[in-house]
Amino acid sequence: MADESATRLFGVINVHKPAGVTSRDVVNVVQKLVRPARVGHAGTLDPMATGVLLVCVGPATRLVSILQQAPKTYRAEFRLGERSDTDDSTGQVQVTSEVGNVPLDDITAVLKHFLGVVEQIPPAFSAVKVQGRRAYMMARAGEDVSLQPRPVRIDSIDVLNYQWPFLDVEICCGSGTYIRSIARDLGERLGCGGLMSGLVRTGIGEFNLANAVAPDDLSLDNIAESVLPAVNVVRHVSEYRCSESEQKLVARGGSFELQKSQFTKRTFEADRSADSDSVSKTPPVALVSDCGGELLALAEIRRQGRRIQPRTVFMSGTN
C-alpha cells in the first residue's frame, strides 16, 4: 500500500485470531500492510485462545481505551478434576481424584456466586505487574507470585454443555476479567479443581466473530476494505452531526454553541451537564460530519448544556 493511502486509514479491523499465535503477531501482520499508519489492539488474547481481536489503525489507536471497556463475550471449555499452574491446559497439569462427576445442579449453584461485581485473583501467569515486574515473568523464573484480588464485572455465565469432566460455558463480562480464574475458582469451590482448556472470544461490544477476518486473508489489495469506520466504536454514545462551519471549529479544537436538533442519537439532558467552569460529567459525544457520518472528534458538553468542546480530535491534519 502506498504511504499516502496508508496514512489516511482510520478505523478498526475485526480480526479472527487463530490459535498458536500471540496478539502481537496479529498486530505485526496488519502493521506490515498499513505502514506508516499507527496500529494497536484492544484486549490481549492468550496464544491458545481464538476469536475477536480488534486492531485499531491510524488515529483510531486513540480509541483503544474505549474498546477495552466494551463488554466481551466468550465461549470457554473448562476441564474439571484437574489443576494447573497457569490455570489452563497449557501449564503443568495435575489430575485430582478427590471428587468425580459433579452434578450439574451443584455447578450451576456455584456459578451464581461469580455474577455481578466480584473480587477476582488474576492467574500467576498473567501480565499483571508486581512491583514493576510482570507476574508471568516471575512465575516462569520459579518465584512465588502473590496477586491481590481485583474487582471485575461478570454479567452472565450460561452452561452450554456438560459431560464430566468437560463444561462448556458462555460468559459475558467486563474489562479485566480472567476466564482462567473463573475455571480455577469454580473447581476450588466444587472441591475437585478446574482449569480452562479452550477459549473463543465471540464478541467485543458490537463487533462479533461472524464478521471477523482471518489474518491470512488480509493483503495489500483488501486491507483498506477490511478497515471498519471508526464511528462504529462509539455507536453507544450520543452522536452530533456537525455543519461545515462547525467542522472547521472542530479541526482547531474550538468550542461552539450546541444545536439540539443536530443530535441523532439519544436526547441530551441539559440539567446533567456541568457548570461553566467545570468539566462535563455527562458521557462523551461523538462529533460526526454532516455528510458521510465520519467520526471527527469526541467532545464534552459544557456551560450548562449550551456548548460543545472537542477533546479528542481525529480530523485530518490534527493527529
Could you tell me which of 48, 50, 71 has the C-alpha nearest to residue 195? 48
- List active site positions: 46
d(CA 29, CA 224): 14
Neighbours of 75 (CB within 10 A): 19
- 3-class DSSP assignment, residue 33: helix
- Residue 135 vs residues 128, 144, 153, 267: alpha-carbon distances, Å: 6, 9, 22, 45
- 3-class DSSP assignment, residue 70: coil
Q: Higher-confidence residue: 107 or 270?
A: 107
**For 129-168, what is each residue's pLDDT tens digit?**
776 778 767 777 777 777 888 999 999 999 999 999 999 9
Could you tell me which of 75, 79, 80 has the C-alpha nearest to residue 190? 80
Which CATH number describes the domain made up of 73-200? 3.30.2350.10
Q: Higher-confidence residue: 246 or 146?
A: 246
CATH superfamily of 3-70+206-231: Pseudouridine synthase (3.30.2350.10)
**Cis bond upstream, residue 122 (ω within 30):** no
Q: Which three cell numbers stand for residue 131?
A: 512491583
Mean residue pLDDT across the chain: 87
List all residues 6 or more positions away from 4 whose beta carbon is below 8 Å from its beta carbon.
none
pLDDT over 70 (residue 220): yes
Position 292 scores a pLDDT of: 81
Instruction: Decide if 204 contacts 211 (C-beta within 8 A).
Output: no
pLDDT over 50 (residue 246): yes
For residue 303, name the pLDDT band (cuts at 50, 70, 90).
Answer: low
Give CA angle at 154 (152, 155), nearest 5°.
Answer: 140
List all residues 6 or more positions away from 283 whose beta carbon is below 8 Å from its beta carbon.
237, 238
Judge if 73-200 and 237-313 fold alike in CATH terms.
no
Our CA dihedral for 39, 40, 41, 45, rounded to 10 degrees, sits at 100
| Highest mean pLDDT of the ranges 2-11, 96-105, 238-247, 267-276 | 238-247
Q: Which three cell numbers stand for residue 227?
A: 478497515
Residue ranges per structural domain of the chain: 3-70+206-231, 73-200, 237-313
pLDDT over 90 (residue 11): yes
Concatenating the DSSP letter of every residue in 100-159 gives -S--HHHHHHHHGGG-EEEEEPPPSSSS-EETTEEHHHHHHTT-------EEEEEEEEEE
Stretch among 10-24, 37-51, 99-113, 116-130 having the lowest mean pLDDT: 116-130
For residue 262, name the pLDDT band (cuts at 50, 70, 90).
Answer: confident
For residue 275, name the pLDDT band (cuts at 50, 70, 90).
Answer: very low
Neighbours of 245 (CB within 10 A): 8
Which CATH number describes the domain made up of 237-313? 2.30.130.10
Position 115 scores a pLDDT of: 97
Neighbours of 186 (CB within 10 A): 25
Q: Higher-confidence residue: 16 or 141?
A: 16
Half-sphere exposure of 168 (CA within 13 A, CB side): 6
**For 89-131, what is each residue's pLDDT tens digit?**
999 999 886 667 899 999 999 999 999 999 998 888 777 777 6
Position 97 scores a pLDDT of: 67
For residue 298, name the pLDDT band (cuts at 50, 70, 90).
Answer: very high
For residue 184, name the pLDDT band (cuts at 50, 70, 90).
Answer: very high
pLDDT over 50 (residue 236): yes
Q: Can you tell me the mean pLDDT for 174-187?
A: 95
